Structure 1
Amino acid sequence: MTDVDRSDSLMSPIQPEQLDPGAVIAQSLDNQWVPAQLTRKMIEHGRSLDQVGRRRVREVRAEYFRSLINASQVVVNRAYFYNNDAISRDLVEEGESRAAHRRLLASGAIVPFLLNERHPAEEPPAHLHVRREGFSAWQETLAGMSSGDRVRCVRMSWDDSPGDQENRDRTMIRLYQPFTEKVQGLTAKDIDVLAAQVGVAPEEADRFGERLGEVVGFSNSRRVRREQVVRNTLYEEFVTVPGTNVAEGRYDRDKPFAAEIKQLLDLIYNVNLADALGRYPLTPVGSLRRVVLQEAREARASTVGVVQDPEQLLTFLRRQSFAAVQDRLTPQAVNDLTLHDIWRLRQSPVWNSYIEAFGALTAAPETFHEAAGQVFDRYVRLNSEILKLARERRRARAAAWHPVVEVVVTVGAAVFTAVSGSDLWEVAGTVVPLTVSGSLTGSVQLVLRNRLAGRQEQRFAREIATVRLAGEREWAQFHDLVRRLPGYRDEGGPARAGTASTTTQDNEDLPEY
């Protein structure tokens, strides 16, 4: 009998295919995540992650709560529970927040991802950076779980093979090798497009391309020496100040294009974990979209539908009409709520109805015109429930709210966006030349947000379908159909397409991923 067939007094071990169909990986919980604009300011002024901690944690915490509101299940790298203050603060303080965290763990709403560990409370290897106060609080949180509660923990394999070899092999194949391949593929992209999407000026594109060549060359040299290519190693060489711990987040302004390379490494790192688990990443506002990677890949196995017909793809961008919204208020900041509020919200019939409607849409994306309205209606009701909870916290203020629906279709390196609601209709495209041959892949993302977007407000952004067009002929057909839509405008240039609007070693242990 293997470990996966049993559970101890605390843990229920699961494998990736046992995650909920609606499970997501929240990119903002990455302990190196910083919005692109803030990254540049950190580099310019020589500030570390701790020195911008107050602003950064506020944004991370808003994304953390948003993921728990809008997804049935959130997968979290175990290290983030104790190294990310946006999460660990609920554990450090005894009381209702820690209790709420235990309930979310026990219900399977939060699932720790384990790399080498076989237990969530296991002591990390001595060479890894650990915030001791956070780790002690994490251990105490687990130790205080009620009798009979189980924490679902996901791992590549739980097999009792000698030296945990099966888990090591699967982790290498699903995580470390794809990460290396994505890094080594950077110079195979259209450098001008890539440069524009990460914010490099046209006159600097050649120099940027040369720097990417150095990243790829460094990666190649490690691989031929049979050394693993991991993000921390690349950070040390191309991003962080020499002699500092990567965890401090001191990014070096003397290293060319440190901010842009960091963005690319972070994007690759986070989509790679999502791919390994067969689920989608949640991309925060201002972070690079996957479209930047200019991938020509087969649609990965997932729980969402695959759209291959250009005319069917067009249906997502056609005009939608929605019922008028009476209650035009929303919490000014989602993170004025508490984790206990989030737990209460997830117990409500309104939340369950909302999640059910979204699940039905992703199960049958071809019903978009009928199903999107139901999702929007339940989203509006959910927002009213969130506002009710916020008002119970007297410090939480309400803001004007004009909810709209945004559909984002990416194909190759092009992005098309349609926005409707509040008597508004806009459809625009950011089109770049094709950079790959063969099939073109992408996705359809549904965003529900305030028309007057604020970074701290409640909003929803999720993938609802995978796109796979057979080739250039189908792409041209789709582009022609979109250009005929009333009011369509071509925004030109790839820069806007690059960021979300709104949404590893043969030693005894694998290195920190």
Structure 2
Amino acid sequence: MTNPVQHGSDGHIDPAAQEQVPRQRDPEPEGQAPQPVRRDNQLVFSDLTHYPVMAQALDNQWLPTELAEGRQGTNAPRKAPGAVAAASAELRRSLVNSGTLVVNRAFFVNNEALYANFVPQAEPADRNAFAQLLNDRAIVPYLLMERDGTEDFAFAHDVVAGRAWRRLITEESDPGLVRLDWDEEANRAVTDRIGQRFTRQLPGLKWLSPPQLAKDLGIPLDLATSMGSGILQDILHWAGSQDHTANITRNAVYKEFLTRPGTDPHHGLLREGAEIVPTKQLIDLMYNLGLPDASGLVALTPPGSPPRRTLQEDVSPQARAQDPEAIGLLIRNLVADSLHRAVDGPNSYAGLSLADIIALRETGEWNTYVGSLETFLHDSFRGGRIPDPDEFSERAATVARDHARMLRTARRAGRSGEGFAREITTMLVLESGGVALQIASGEEVSLISGTLQMLTAVGGAMTVRLEFWDKAARDRRSGLGHSLTLPTLRLGNLQKDWKTILDVYGGPVVETGRVAPARGGQADQQARHG
């Protein structure tokens, strides 16, 4: 007998009751071939019923815009300063905003934001928490063609991380492993269709509307226009000249158009040119939507990168008339992307440890919030239907309200029981050309990364960010803060303009040559361009 659902005083389903009511699976098509016998930990995507998502920011090629621009200079360091911290923040944001986070197996060994939690030098608390997230199936590795999580890696990866990964999943945890299909032929067919989709969509980037592209990428209209007649047109012609019997890979696009000559894509070094970073963002976005769309999962795009709507996918009434279910699902995905980007900034949970995340996921507030996401983004759009305006408004408002309650709980978790008494410090951070200057209230000015001698007399972007952080939590992993990124400025001459900035300041500057310590969990907002 099914247990009755208990409603709370505010009309919500109580978290304990929610856990007894898993999401209804879509019916299997009649006449479908039976699935091969699977072990308990061999999953397919329909087994994931607790609001499953995939996060673009865990792709080892992902970088926020300002960090990607720093990979174009000839003096760019081997590792992008701040990249691991940014991806680690996104890992936490994704774990808070999902019931199940599906992660490509490759990323566990080529993305430091992931493997830093289980390599030998990791803190024991982090390693234990990461193992628990795997055991709880809060994190589920995705296998492309492998049948086991320990198979050899046929790509560039961190060797130490590879050994640690095998130990983690054989000795310290028992994770679920998900594939599109455990039948080899069926799995190969679906993965091939994902590659075909990328191959077909690639030439279409040339036809994106420049005004909308400029808005979504945060670039000048003239740059968006020149991309259409320049690099995106070159990609169209190049794609047309490729072997039509094979799919085009992202790696091939990187090597031909984006990666600095003489280096490999995994080095993360980019060619110079204003069009390179926005083109990379388009390629990465399109690539990272393939698997979530094929599996029916929600794709989380990071707030520091372009939203899904940047690809200008067709949701017109004409398109819906041709395939209402597919367009209904696409609209669901666009709504989900906009919703997640609206409620959280890129660093909303960066100050939480993985143990904090686990504790948060056990609270009633978190369960209610994820239940609201599930109800809205899966149930309301089931089978390609689109909720009517009243239902849409009501459920979106419920998600926002439940998120606010959950966020208050997250802040308490991040403060480790110390309450909300805060001494707030304000900092101005200027970043351009691999050089960053921080000006904190009550402290001396610091040149925190790069050196002025490395700058060249060329133009470049300057990012201006205001940070507000809890002084008591400054050097801790717990504690939540806030930041505001202002519209990007353009410098005509990096070397000269930086010198002018320092001359105007006139005070002493301490050159530390290191990146500023990560502030505890800033909830970041991007200021709108005027």
TM-score by length of 1: 0.65
One-letter amino acid of the counterpart of residue 345, structure 1 = L
Q: Which residue does the alignment assign to 1:426?
A: none
Which residue, 198, 211, 215 being the options, matches 2:235? 215
Q: Which residue does the alignment assign to 2:506?
A: none
Tell me the percent identity.
31
Q: Which residue does the alignment assign to 2:80?
A: 52
Question: Within 5 A, what are the aligned runs for 1:474-485?
Answer: none
1:285 aligns with 2:303: yes
The answer to whether the 8 A contact 1:66-1:460 is kept is: no
Q: Deviations for 1:466-502, whole angstroms, at most 9, x for unmatched residues?
A: xxxxxxxxxxxxxxxxxxxxxxxxx9xxx969xxxxx
Q: Which residue does the alignment assign to 1:387?
A: 411
1:336 aligns with 2:335: no
The answer to whether the 8 A contact 2:302-2:346 is kept is: no
For 2:114 and 2:147, locate their aligned partners in 1 and report how far apart those are by CA, in whole Å: 22
Shift of 1:138: 1.0
For 1:242 and 1:18, locate their aligned partners in 2 and report how far apart those are by CA, in whole Å: 44
For 2:330 and 2:263, locate their aligned partners in 1 and report how far apart those are by CA, in whole Å: 45
Question: Within 5 A, what are the aligned runs for 1:320-359?
Answer: 334-359=349-374
1:178 aligns with 2:201: no
Q: Which residue does the alignment assign to 1:481?
A: none
For 1:197 and 1:51, locate their aligned partners in 2 and report how far apart those are by CA, in whole Å: 27
One-letter amino acid of the counterpart of residue 138, structure 2 = A
The answer to whether the 8 A contact 2:99-2:138 is kept is: yes
From the superposition, tell whether residues 75 and 115 of structure 1 become closer, same or farther in structure 2 (CA, over 3 Å): same
Question: Within 5 A, what are the aligned runs for 1:123-142?
Answer: 123-125=152-154, 128-142=155-169
The answer to whether the 8 A contact 1:332-1:399 is kept is: no
One-letter amino acid of the counterpart of residue 336, structure 1 = G
Give the secondary structure class of the aligned counterpart of 1:5: coil
Question: Within 5 A, what are the aligned runs for 1:85-104?
Answer: 85-92=112-119, 93=122, 95-104=124-133
Give the secondary structure class of the aligned counterpart of 1:133: helix
* Structure with max Cα Rg: 2
Which residue, 287, 291, 305 being the options, matches 1:273? 291
Give the secondary structure class of the aligned counterpart of 2:235: helix
1:244 aligns with 2:263: yes
The answer to whether the 8 A contact 2:45-2:295 is kept is: yes
Give the secondary structure class of the aligned counterpart of 2:408: helix
Question: Within 5 A, what are the aligned runs for 1:100-249?
Answer: 100-125=129-154, 128-145=155-172, 149=174, 151-159=175-183, 164-173=184-193, 175-191=194-210, 193-194=212-213, 197-205=216-224, 207-209=226-228, 210-224=230-244, 226-249=245-268
Q: Which residue does the alignment assign to 1:378?
A: 402
State the aligned residue count.
381
Which residue, 29, 34, 37 being the options, matches 1:5? 37
Question: Within 5 A, what are the aligned runs for 1:424-435?
Answer: none
Shift of 1:335: 2.4
One-letter amino acid of the counterpart of residue 177, structure 1 = Q
Which residue, 40, 56, 64 being the options, matches 1:35? 64
Q: Which has the higher contact order (CA 8 A, sep 6+)?
A: 1
Shift of 1:458: 7.1
One-letter amino acid of the counterpart of residue 86, structure 1 = A
Shift of 1:349: 2.4
RMSD between aligned alpha carbons? 3.8
The answer to whether the 8 A contact 2:210-2:221 is kept is: no
Give the secondary structure class of the aligned counterpart of 1:63: helix
From the superposition, tell whether residues 246 and 306 of structure 1 become closer, same or farther in structure 2 (CA, over 3 Å): closer
Give the secondary structure class of the aligned counterpart of 2:72: helix
1:61 aligns with 2:88: yes
1:295 aligns with 2:313: yes
For 1:122 and 1:2, locate their aligned partners in 2 and report how far apart those are by CA, in whole Å: 26
The answer to whether the 8 A contact 1:31-1:83 is kept is: yes
1:20 aligns with 2:49: yes
For 1:271 and 1:304, locate their aligned partners in 2 and report how far apart those are by CA, in whole Å: 13
One-letter amino acid of the counterpart of residue 265, structure 2 = V
Question: Within 5 A, what are the aligned runs for 1:418-497?
Answer: 457=521
Give the secondary structure class of the aligned counterpart of 1:236: helix
For 1:303 and 1:295, locate their aligned partners in 2 and report how far apart those are by CA, in whole Å: 12
Q: Which residue does the alignment assign to 1:501?
A: none
For 1:268 and 1:368, locate their aligned partners in 2 and report how far apart those are by CA, in whole Å: 27
Shift of 1:25: 1.0
The answer to whether the 8 A contact 2:56-2:301 is kept is: yes
From the superposition, tell whether residues 279 and 152 of structure 1 become closer, same or farther in structure 2 (CA, over 3 Å): same
